[in-house]
């Protein structure tokens, strides 16, 4: 009725009924347009939010920040070593194995003034004449009082070896995973520097076997030279060569090849101590870290001048395959390591991450004050010190 009355008033004022309906339709269209615009605006906002979230998730390749930071009971002076996904430390009488969440998994007492070495499944420890070999669960494999002082020892995947005697004369005793002595190798006329293990396959057998290397300084001649010897445990020597006046400070293996790192270059040798290829020049750089991922070996180097005299690290050099490139760190760092996908730089209050296929670092703040970098355990977790306190830090990936 009201509608009819309004129509009548409109008609009496000089309009027509048709004009009224046209104006009414126009108002309805305006309301529909307004609702549409409001709906469109809401949808546009939602779309922007989704695009931003997608960029954060996919545009940044799923990268997240620094994760959980866990303090463990060890201190910086307690001979800390990464051990797979765990940490070992020696408190002056006992070796302890600590999980990534800070809980103590096992402990084994070895006495005072001891030292130890660890591989992925084995720990060899020594104190005076006493030698201990433990498996990854802390169970004793071997224990014996040797005939002389133990200078040092090394753990491999299957075997362990200990150098027993004086600095220049003695015996390297090799012990298998069952605790059986399988070799006693005489050392004389040289200063033994180090022992280690590596895996390689021979031309006649594609299956890999574990070999041992020994590095020493030959003191027989008028000029001191470095000697490399290789052995297959239980079968004695497989090769021997002189490296000249090179002073090696690290040896690592990659796909069956021994890489001997000196201050000038990296030398490459087979399990028979025969040079396999031309050396790789690294003059002016120091090898900082090595990590094998699949069949690719990544090597991280830093300028030698940035490592000496307490200088901070500002640049790193990454080598793998045919890739050899320098990457600048965005801040002064006190350490650098390799993870499973990234290079990491550590400053006092930040961690920098750069993926292997990228050329720049991203900075991530951290709540502790890093004073030392002690190494990496699995799942991209670093072991760092804040003063005397030790922390495990989940790194960005």
Query: What is the model's pLDDT at position 236?
Result: 82
Query: What is the model's pLDDT at position 222?
Result: 75
Query: What is the model's pLDDT at position 201?
Result: 84
Spatial distance between the Cα atoms of 253 and 200, rounded to a whole number of angstroms: 9
Nearest alpha carbon to residue 361 among 396, 389, 320, 388: 396
Query: What is the model's pLDDT at position 218?
Result: 84
Residue 177 near residue 187, CB atoms below 8 Å: no
Q: To 10 degrees, the CA torsion angle through 186, 189, 192, 197?
A: -50
Spatial distance between the Cα atoms of 313 and 121, rounded to a whole number of angstroms: 33
Q: By three-state DSSP, how is residue 10 classified?
A: helix
Residue 333 near residue 345, CB atoms below 8 Å: yes
Spatial distance between the Cα atoms of 142 and 293, rounded to a whole number of angstroms: 32
Query: What is the model's pLDDT at position 310?
Result: 61
Q: Which residues contact 147 (CB under 8 A, 6 or more apart)?
A: 129, 164
Q: For 16-68, how does the pLDDT look when each residue is reduced to its tens digit (9 = 90+)?
A: 444 444 455 555 555 556 565 555 554 544 443 343 333 333 333 345 689 99
**H helices within the chain, ranges in order?**
2-12, 17-54, 304-307
Query: What is the model's pLDDT at position 16?
Result: 40
Query: What is the model's pLDDT at position 120?
Result: 82
pLDDT mean by block of 10 residues, the chain; 397 residues:
41 41 51 55 44 36 75 96 97 97 96 95 96 97 96 96 92 95 92 94 78 90 87 92 89 93 95 94 95 94 78 92 94 95 96 96 96 95 97 95
Q: Which two tokens stand for residue 9?
A: 């008033």
Query: What is the model's pLDDT at position 175?
Result: 97
Spatial distance between the Cα atoms of 351 and 336, rounded to a whole number of angstroms: 10
**Residue 148 burial by CB count (10 A; 0-12/13-18/19+): exposed, middle or buried?**
middle
Spatial distance between the Cα atoms of 397 and 335, rounded to a whole number of angstroms: 18
Give domain 64-84+284-397's CATH architecture: Beta Barrel (2.40)
Q: For 181-237, how does the pLDDT look when each residue is reduced to its tens digit (9 = 90+)?
A: 999 999 988 899 999 999 998 766 678 899 999 999 987 777 888 999 999 999 889
Angle between helix 2-12 and 17-54 (nearest 10): 120
């Amino acid at each position: 009725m009201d509608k009819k009355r309004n129509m009548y008033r409109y008609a009496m004022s000089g309009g027509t009924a048709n004009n009224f309906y046209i104006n009414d339709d126009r108002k309805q269209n305006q309301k529909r347009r307004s609702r549409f615009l409001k709906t469109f605006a809401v949808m546009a906002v939602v779309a922007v939010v989704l695009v931003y979230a997608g960029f954060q998730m996919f545009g940044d390749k799923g990268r997240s920040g620094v994760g959980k930071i866990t303090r463990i009971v060890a201190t910086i002076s307690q001979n800390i070593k990464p051990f797979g996904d765990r940490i070992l430390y020696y408190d002056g009488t006992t070796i302890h194995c600590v999980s990534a969440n800070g809980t103590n998994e096992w402990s084994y007492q070895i006495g005072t003034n001891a030292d130890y070495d660890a591989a992925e499944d084995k720990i060899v420890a020594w104190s005076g004449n006493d030698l201990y070999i433990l498996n990854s669960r802390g169970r004793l494999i071997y224990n014996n009082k040797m005939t002389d002082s133990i200078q040092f020892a090394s753990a491999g995947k299957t075997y362990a070896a200990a150098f027993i005697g004086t600095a220049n004369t003695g015996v390297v005793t090799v012990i298998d995973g069952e605790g059986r002595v399988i070799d006693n190798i005489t050392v004389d006329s040289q200063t033994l520097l180090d022992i280690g293990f590596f895996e390689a396959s021979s031309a006649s057998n594609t299956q890999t076997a574990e070999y041992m290397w020994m590095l020493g300084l030959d003191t027989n001649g008028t000029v001191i030279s470095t000697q490399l010897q290789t052995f297959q445990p239980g079968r004695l020597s497989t090769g021997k060569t002189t490296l000249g006046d090179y002073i090696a400070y690290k040896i690592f293996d990659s796909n069956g090849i021994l890489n001997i790192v000196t201050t000038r270059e990296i030398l490459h040798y087979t399990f028979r101590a025969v040079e396999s290829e031309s050396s790789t020049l690294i003059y002016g750089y120091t090898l900082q870290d090595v990590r094998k991922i699949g069949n690719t070996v990544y090597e991280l180097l830093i300028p030698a001048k940035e490592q000496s005299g307490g200088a901070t690290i500002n640049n790193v050099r990454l080598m793998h395959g045919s890739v050899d490139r320098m990457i600048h760190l965005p801040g002064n760092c006190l350490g650098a390591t390799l993870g499973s996908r990234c290079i990491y730089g550590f400053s006092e209050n930040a961690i920098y991450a750069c993926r292997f296929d990228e050329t720049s670092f991203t900075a991530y703040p951290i709540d502790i004050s890093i004073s030392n970098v002690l190494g990496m355990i699995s799942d991209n977790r670093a072991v760092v010190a804040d003063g005397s306190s030790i922390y495990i830090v989940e790194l960005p990936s």
